[in-house]
Structure 1
Amino acid sequence: MTNSEHIAYRMVSGTAEKLLFFCMGMLIVLTCSRWSIQLFILVGGVTSVVRAVYKRSLSWRLLLLAISFVVLGSLVLMLVVGHKNIDAWWQIECFGLWWSITYNSFWYALQLACRAVNSILFIQLLSVNISLAEAITTARKLKVPNSLLELVLLSYRYLFVLKETAHVVRLAQNQRLGYISFRNSLRSTGLLLSMVFIKSLRFSMQNFQSMQVRGYGGFTHQSEEWHPSSFLGILLITVSAIILFCVEFFKF
């Protein structure tokens, strides 16, 4: 369970550097309110994500889905419901109430959307840059319960089983023109879900019996993976975070 894909920054190669970069970035995004800092992080995050996942179509789809959810939520936050507002940029009366967009509500929603997108970008960067073995090793160092780690490992393994099973069933349905019309698509989707559940359940039972025969006692041995970090990389991340915090709180 190794991950050969690396982040756009070659200096961030150690496990401690990756975790520090993620924690500092999320802390800056959630605490800093200056537009200059948020836009700086947004531009850097978009550039890094484009370089990290430009060859992975599924990652792009999931990323766009999350960003579209943020955009829709921001549109709702822009609306102020109540009485007629003379300072509103746009307003309309509906159901006996005035729905308006004001200067404050617009910039509040835009700033919140920027923070949410930056958080999504940091999570995406962490997911493509850290392997499962590194994550499990970090969790063990943080004294996370073994039962929770075991659940994560088994879930991670069965995700690929679900994906492969769904791919095989859908391929068979496509060959039989299962998605030729909207009605057939609905019927085929229902059959797909039921077949994936049945096949995955059967496979999990067989796999669990095989694990018990081989002496499984509730603990999966996972090799540890912890890449050494450079002092220069940690120092650079820390100094950069301190500079951004100073810009935010001392109002340079």
Structure 2
Amino acid sequence: MKFDMDYIAHHNALTETNPYFKLFLTIVLLIVTLAIDNLYFDVIVFVVMSLVILSIAKIDYKSYLKFLSLPMAFLVITCIFLIFFFGKGDVIYETGIWSIVVTTDSWHYGVYTFMRVLGCLPCLGFLALTTPIAKIINCLRKIKIPKILIEIALLMYNTIFIFLNEIDTMQKAQESRLGYHSYWSSIKSLAALISIIFLRSLDKSETLQYSLDSRGYSGELPVYEPRKRDD
């Protein structure tokens, strides 16, 4: 199943819920989760917001897991580096490799960083998976967020999904040619995929600039403003 966050944001039980309320709730939960130094609170936030996404918003659990998979991968890698390469204090574990050890401080940094980010992920997921990007951008514009930040966010959002689609297409092409049938062929296919994506990124950025110029881009992107319903 292909992950399409934009489609999910338009087709869930909370799509029509007030976007300002969802944005406010997300910001408050993020601030509180980062401010409170309590692992139990982080777990509670993760569980409660996950239940809201799955039970109230009625988003498929596979889509939710796909949403969590990429940031979780980066989170795990980051926390491993924190645990083994940062912090001081008493040594609680010796790896026996190049004097790499785990100390009390590094363990604390790694665990608390992991739990805090874990608590924040479903908060962001709640906003991203239940609110279309057009409504989020409109809310940011209404609360006077600087235009340059809104434009960067919009361009990044658009570019990310363009490249996700490119990666999906190229992976399928490689799989059809048995590009991942063995370990070494997988390594070569992955290296080729990364190099092609880098070249495509340069090409797409130039194409995007030409597209903006041809449409009279003057330094400001128009933002969609949803119509108010007549009750």
**TM-score normalised to the size of structure 2?**
0.68
Amino acid across the alignment from 1:152: A
Deviations 1:114-150 (A, max 9, x none): 4332122212222212321122222223333323322
Pairing 1:154–2:155 present: yes
Pairing 1:28–2:28 present: no
Are the aligned partners of 1:165 and 1:200 in contact in 2 as well (CA < 8 Å)? no
CA distance in 1, matches of 2:202, 2:30: 38
Which deviates further from its counterpart, 12-21 or 59-68? 59-68
CA distance in 1, matches of 2:80, 2:203: 40
Unaligned 5+ residue runs, structure 1? 84-89, 229-252
Are the aligned partners of 1:53 and 1:59 in contact in 2 as well (CA < 8 Å)? no
**Structure of higher CA gyration radius:** 1
Deviations 1:36-86 (A, max 9, x none): 655543431332344445131521423543564587478669x97438xxx
Say which of 8, 17, 23 aligns to 2:21: 17
CA distance in 1, matches of 2:73, 2:60: 15
CA distance in 2, matches of 1:75, 1:225: 47
Residues 44, 73 of structure 1: alpha-carbon distance in 2 compared, 3 angstrom cutoff = farther
Are the aligned partners of 1:38 and 1:115 in contact in 2 as well (CA < 8 Å)? yes
Partner in structure 2 of residue 126 of structure 1: 127
Q: In the TM superposition, what is the alpha-carbon distance from 1:223 to its structure 2 partner? A: 0.7
Matches for 1:135-174 after TM superposition, within 5 Å: 135-174=136-175
Are the aligned partners of 1:53 and 1:60 in contact in 2 as well (CA < 8 Å)? no
Partner in structure 1 of residue 61 of structure 2: 54
Q: In the TM superposition, what is the alpha-carbon distance from 1:14 to its structure 2 partner? A: 0.9
Which deviates further from its counterpart, 133-142 or 66-75? 66-75
Partner in structure 2 of residue 4 of structure 1: 10
CA distance in 2, matches of 1:100, 1:211: 51
**TM-score normalised to the size of structure 1?**
0.63
Amino acid across the alignment from 1:193: I
Partner in structure 2 of residue 193 of structure 1: 194
Secondary structure of the corresponding residue to residue 34 of structure 2 = helix
CA distance in 2, matches of 1:193, 1:214: 31
Q: In the TM superposition, what is the alpha-carbon distance from 1:222 to its structure 2 partner? A: 2.1
Partner in structure 2 of residue 244 of structure 1: none
Amino acid across the alignment from 1:134: K
CA RMSD of aligned residues (A): 4.2
Partner in structure 1 of residue 3 of structure 2: none
Are the aligned partners of 1:133 and 1:222 in contact in 2 as well (CA < 8 Å)? yes
Relative contact order higher in (CA < 8 Å, ≥ 6 apart): 1
How many residues align? The count is 218
CA distance in 1, matches of 2:174, 2:143: 46
Unaligned 5+ residue runs, structure 2? 1-5
